Amino acid sequence: MKIRLNHYLSNAGISSRRKADQLIQSGVIEVNGKPVFKLGTIIHTNDIVKFHGSKIKSKNKIYILLNKPKGFITTTRDQFNRRTVMNLISCLSEYRIFPVGRLDCSTTGVLLLTNDGYIAEKLTHPKYHIKKIYHVSLNKNIINEDLDKIRKGKISLKEGKVKVIFIKKNDKNKIEIGLSIGWNRVIKRVFKKLNYKVIRLDRINFGGITKKNLKIGNWCFLNKKEIENITK
């Protein structure tokens, strides 16, 4: 697998990604016996990388799937001592894992936690167009005209027009929606603009990862095939 050299250094715990760029430019990083100075250098994960002459060992990568419940903040820590998703995986505290992207406090469903910065960027950077699918429950029945407005991209927010991959009605006030944009609270803001209130929001798919019949609040390790599907 290919990866940017600064990502590799960050994943190995040598430094932050920004600091890694400074290390590269200073000439203390070698790849396969040759100093590397160029920012943005791409390497293979099986290349031999050295820092001040010592071989760097990549950390074991951890991939956790959590079915997030309501009432937990999606962050590693909170200054107001509110419950975070890390409380749900406290038995893994020895690993420096972090949540990939954010689900707000009231949103439930698929959340990935990992120590793999490459995967985190691939799942969250807009250029990769990662699909996310949600089940939405509204405070009242939705009319077809409003569904069409969303489907045809006629709803605009401050970031621009909202483009969805698909939207369908599962029941009178229950919607399934797929999109690849990652704007903050985008689904709640779209329906608010159409005078609906989202009373339940559940992410059922994130980049092909599903809840796998996990009960709310439970977690599991992703298997090798699931990880390979993410890294394609």
Neighbouring CB atoms inside 10 A of 40's CB total 9
Q: How many residues does the chain have?
A: 232
Q: Which two structure tokens, joined as six digits, stand for 151? A: 């489907």
For residue 54, give every residue at least 6 positions away whose Cβ sits within 8 Å of its Cβ, in sequence order, or none. none
Q: Which two structure tokens, joined as six digits, stand for 226? A: 């699931």
Q: How far apart are CA 219 and CA 211, in angstroms?
A: 9
116 is catalytic: no
Q: Which amino acid is at 81?
A: N
Asked whether 204 and 212 are in contact (CB, 8 A), the reply is no
Question: Residue 80: exposed, middle, or buried by beta-carbon count in 10 A (0-12, 13-18, 19+)?
Answer: exposed
Q: How far apart are CA 95 and CA 115, in angstroms?
A: 8
Do strands 156-157 and 160-161 pair parallel, antiparallel, or not at all (unpaired)?
Answer: antiparallel
The catalytic position among 47, 78, 104, 148 is 104
- Which residues are catalytic, by number? 104
